Amino acid sequence: MVHMNDNALRTVEARIREQAAAYCESDNVPGFVAGVYQAGEQIIVAHGVANVATGAPMLDDTGFLFGSVTKVLTTTLVLQQVERGLLDLDAPVVKYLPEFALTAPGAADKILVRHLVSHTNGIDADLFFPDAKGRDALKTYVDGLASGCGTLFEPGEQLSYSNGGMIVAGRLLEVVTGLPFHDLLARDIYGPVGMKDSCTSAEQAILRGTAVGHFPDPETMAPKPTNRFTLPDTWGPAGGTPIGTIADLLAFGRTHLAGGVSPSGTRVLSAESTALMRQVSYDMDSPNTPPIGLGWVLYPFGDTTVLAMSGASPGGVSLLCVVPEHDLVFAAFGNTPGAIMLQDQLLRWLLTEHLGVRIPTLITEVAQDVDLTPYVGTYRSNQLRVDVSVVEGQLEERMTYEPADASQERIFTEFAGGATAAPPQRYVPIRPGLFAPADYPLEVFDGYLRLLLVSYHDVRDGQARFRNGGGRLTRRA
């Protein structure tokens, strides 16, 4: 247990205030809110505005969309049902959800409950956005998988960040508990953890102060409010709809820090299940993809492991980090996608300056003479195409969004702030199979932004089968 004086956290508070103000000014981030808990003390800092259209200030208790941080909440719910004997991690999903199917006959039958929450399920549904509301939204999602989504790999054979897996897990929870996902979240997480300002809908969020996301205006680069607040209800368990505050996220992080006991003393999860969530369930052994537990991504910063999950929402980004070795929780939200850079700066400052963690350099140099031919080709996943070629001795990637239908195109376009085509990106080799975006200083990749590195995997007959960007796989077409 780390004992600290109140003074140390005051220094942290001043530093966050200073860095947030400087970053928000220079990088057009309208508003930012962050909090740190350590050894019984807690601070929250807010800066700027929650919504540029209204000028409402960002406050300590302003609500925001959790985005994918929700995945750790969903995983916690799954483990609770395992403890209650209603689910078995090693049982096939179809045991509980016989209607679960994918386009390839029999493919869904091999997926275990464990695969859903460890991102090793292979469900190819990363951009599958069926639009449905209300009680049957998750059922609609699962029904749609059978006709619209296949598999990227055999369950357990690779790791690929999986929205689809978490949504299927959410539907599984509804079936075994008889409760809608949102009601279960409120009853078994929000209540016992003490997340008193958390909810799951725009209708509830509007009753209190809530931030909205922003995107840079293509002409002026000034932040403009998003025209979509949440993703559809079909994406609830993956992070589409839950909304809350920094204090609420810190309370959830503290519950995991304390072996499953909430700040009020309520047991939310057993010590065994809490420990299981932070055990490595898959490691790709590639710097751009940290090992994964159940729900948590396990970021190695030297000898210190940071349990983390970040969450994109339309025009916003949240982050929750738990550092068990230092009894620390860090949570943050910024209401434009670029705020991830500020979150990364703050996390690295907390680790190095505040906690004295030595972060080794992840990438020391660029390699020469790497044969680029195994990586050239076209890679695909759900509604996404990546064309890889060699240009002037570097890899060049062109990403194309290939919408399945008009409804999904509309939702994805709003989620992405209107831009669905990225300019081509050049990459320089670090070593065979690992590439860094050109023109980036290499030290950028020591922190959370190691996700910007791209890797290629499973080279057979001189060709890589998979491309990994941001923890997500695309497969050679």
Which residues does 371 contact at the CB level (< 8 Å), separation at least 6? Answer: 432
From the candidates 26, 68, 118, 286, which is the catalytic residue? 68
Contact 471, 451 (CB under 8 A): yes
DSSP annotation of 404: S
Q: List 225's β-bridge partners, or say none.
A: 214
Residue 65: left if φ>0, alpha if ψ -120 to 50, beta else—which one? Answer: beta
Contact 411, 420 (CB under 8 A): no
Q: List 267's β-bridge partners, or say none.
A: 261
Residue corresponding to tokens 């209607």: 99
Q: Which two tokens stand for residue 353?
A: 């300056």
Alpha-carbon distance 25 to 222, whole Å? Answer: 11
Q: Which two tokens stand for residue 230?
A: 């949440």
Residues composing the chain: 477
Cα-Cα end-to-end distance for the chain: 51
Q: What are phi and psi of 428, to 5 degrees?
A: -110, 145
Q: Which two tokens stand for residue 2?
A: 């780390």
Q: Does residue 68 carry a catalytic annotation?
A: yes
In this structure, the number of other CB atoms found within 10 A of the CB of residue 275 comes to 14
Burial 349-374 (b: 16+ CB within 10 A, else e): bbbbebbebeeeebbeeeeeebebeb
**Could you tell me which of 193, 254, 191, 197 has the C-alpha nearest to residue 41?**
254
Q: Which two tokens stand for residue 92?
A: 């096939």
Sign of CA dihedral 281, 283, 284, 290: positive
**Could you tell me which of 113, 55, 68 has the C-alpha nearest to residue 316?**
68
Residues designated as active site:
68
